[in-house]
Structure 1
Amino acid sequence: MPDRFSPEQQAAVGNRVLCVHHRRRRVIALALASVTVAWLGVLAPAHAQEFPSQPIKLVVPLTPGGSNDVLARTLAEKLSGLWHQSVIVENRPGASGNIGADAVARAPAGGHTLLVAPNNVFVVNHSLSPRLEAAKDLAPVTLLGTVPFVLVAGSSAKVGSVKELIELSKSRPAGLSYASSGIGSPHHLAAEMFRSMTGARMTHVPYKGGAPAIVDLLGGQVDVQFGAINQLLPHIRDGKLKALAIVGNERVPLVPDVPTLAEAGVPGWQGEVWVGLAAPPRTPPAIIERLNRDVRKVLAQPEVQARMADQGIVLKGSTIAQMAQTIEDDTKRWAEVIKEANIKAE
């Protein structure tokens, strides 16, 4: 420094230079921190977009061959091509879907293990079985579609209409027996609602799956069944089972001559059997949204629509919020049926 400055002045100037230097370092550090935070914010969504990072498993809590299984295998085929990852279907039947649902509920929350299941798994089972507390927290992804149910009579109940069925049930001391795929299953709940609405005398005979129930229905061990149209249609066409009514608000093109329950003399029916997709609890929202978007894209494909229509399945994708609301509404609706019929878990 020039000699005209005193030592004290030189020291003051030096201090000011150091302060400026420290302020600059602090500003640079803050700027770098801001850039780092912004960069991490970019990386977080990018990480979510990396899904799926490994093979995906679609768990169907029912036996192979049913509506849920057919739909899951179609999804697996299309999603595998979309995601460039293997998508496999694993059937884990038992306890009206409880075993498979509980397995998914306890799986890692990364979106690589998913559940394809009917509505009873989401709205009924956890109410019937206290041990399924985890399953009630499954994360909704999307509704997949509805499965028309049909009321059929076997050879042991020689009736030609719903009215005749109700009359026959009241004329027999023990009433009629009806088959289901298990306690709390859609087959069971539909029959109990029918019994409540009509006063028909009916006794429940639960099976471990829809296939063995149909075998005994064909063999005359049980009288009637409410079941999925795609499983019962071959036997209806062969004349081995008599289709009495469609359980829903509209007729089904596969059996156009079969009336709805309302047309058959049972007005006021509410509720339909639907299939939904869910993920384990605590699955990141970004992954749930990705799943919803990609699955709905598959459901909208004309080829998939046509393939499922041949099975009697009506595809209906939904938002995450719509599925959550459907679960809430149906839980209230079926709670009344469960209470009235005094349905207990196995």
Structure 2
Amino acid sequence: MKHLLRIASLTLSFIVLGSAPLNAVAQKSAYPDKAIRFIVPFAPGGGTDIIARVMAQKLSEAFGQSVVVDNRGGAGGTIGAEIAAKATPDGYTMIMVSGSYAVNAGLYKLPYDPLNGIDTASLVGTSPFVVALHPSVPVKDVRELIALAKAKPGSINYASTGTGGITHMATELFRLMANVNIVHIPYKGTGPALNDLIGGQVHMIFGSILATLPHVKSGKLKGIAVTGLKRSDAAPELPTVNESGLPGYEVTLWYGVWGPKGLPKEVSSRWHAELAKILKSADMRRRLATEGLEAVGSTPEEFRAHLKREVAKWAKVIKDANVKIGS
């Protein structure tokens, strides 16, 4: 009897010990088991915030846990990016960034590495800018705009959403490639810039589709081109800058998701898989199209390569145009 009890005891011990690694694996694979902080490095209401909140709702459904948007604006988006980059790499702090993230790499001395200090998840979507003019500017396309700027150097000015912002950089790239003298008028945001453009205080803006296109459609502004390499579904009647007067010119506004360096492989893979699934859905594609965005849903490697190209591109523009914060 004692012999049988000893065998039963040993058998039970082996069962318990054998099941321990399985339990550990089960516990390890339970991500996420609490709310996830989704940082937006800008104030509420802007483009990045709007897209992040749309994505957060779908991600909450996919993960079965709340994905909570946390607005951490300031310093052109660098404050929120620093918080995300220095967070614990466990998948419970992620961030949505836009094209300005790549510009900042060449503008600021950053307390984090914008390329090697992060783990990319996915490029979410892209959108061109609209080249919009006050109706009084006597041109009908990019070719004529360049000709006018060359005929009257310094007579055309352009609005931006702030020095060093992506709209400023987009127009500076245009200025450099077209070799024209146009004057920068920086504003504190899209709203004031568009208000003065509509009022005739400035001549031109390279503005986001979401904010600018309604004024073009209403006739308050004159749209002459979009800045991507292909025409936008939101305004197919507008040619690209590339096809209408400045070959090789391309600028897109983009949004992407990343987390701190060192994310567990399973966490990184899960974020990519869920984002790709969401962005492939017809419902999400339609929703983003209303914001002027084309859904992408890239792999982490594709997003990293895109980011590397963008950082290099804007660093060169910043250097060639001698752009400095406060200038």
With normalisation by structure 2, the TM-score equals 0.85
The 3 A distance-change label for structure 1 pair 255 and 340 is same
Distance in 1 (alpha carbons) for counterparts of 2:247 and 2:109: 34
SS in 2 for 1:131: coil
The 3 A distance-change label for structure 1 pair 328 and 79 is same
**Equivalent pair of 2:85/2:118 in contact (CA under 8 Å):** yes
Which residue matches 2:107? 128
Which residue matches 1:80? 60
Q: Select the structure of larger CA radius of gyration.
A: 1
Q: 1:206 aligns with which of 180, 186, 189?
A: 186
The answer on 1:54 being equivalent to 2:34 is yes
Report the alpha carbon displacement of residue 219 of structure 1 after superposing the two structures with TM: 2.9
1:37-76: per-residue Cα shift (whole Å, max 9, x none)?
9867645653443222322232222344443233212111
**Equivalent pair of 1:116/1:275 in contact (CA under 8 Å):** yes
The answer on 1:307 being equivalent to 2:307 is no
Which residue matches 1:22? none
Which 10-residue stretch deviates more, 188-197 or 90-99? 90-99
Which residue matches 1:286? 266
With normalisation by structure 1, the TM-score equals 0.81
Q: 2:154 aligns with which of 146, 163, 174?
A: 174
**Equivalent pair of 1:63/1:209 in contact (CA under 8 Å):** no
Which 10-residue stretch deviates more, 169-178 or 243-252? 169-178
Report the alpha carbon displacement of residue 128 of structure 1 after superposing the two structures with TM: 1.8
**Equivalent pair of 1:96/1:183 in contact (CA under 8 Å):** no
1:286-340: per-residue Cα shift (whole Å, max 9, x none)?
2122111111111111101111122220000111111112222222233322221
Report the alpha carbon displacement of residue 106 of structure 1 after superposing the two structures with TM: 2.8
Correspondence 1:1-346 to 2 at 5 A = 42=22, 45-121=25-101, 123-136=102-115, 137-155=117-135, 157-172=137-152, 174-346=154-326
Report the alpha carbon displacement of residue 196 of structure 1 after superposing the two structures with TM: 1.0
Question: What is the number of residues matched between the two proteins?
Answer: 315
Which residue matches 1:14? none
Which 10-residue stretch deviates more, 240-249 or 52-61? 52-61
**Equivalent pair of 1:67/1:228 in contact (CA under 8 Å):** no
Distance in 1 (alpha carbons) for counterparts of 2:18 and 2:195: 63
Identity in percent: 37
5+ long unaligned stretches in structure 1 = 1-33
SS in 2 for 1:85: coil
Which 10-residue stretch deviates more, 289-298 or 265-274? 265-274
5+ long unaligned stretches in structure 2 = 1-13
Distance in 2 (alpha carbons) for counterparts of 1:334 and 1:38: 56
**Equivalent pair of 1:52/1:83 in contact (CA under 8 Å):** yes
Q: Give 1:277's aligned amino acid.
A: V
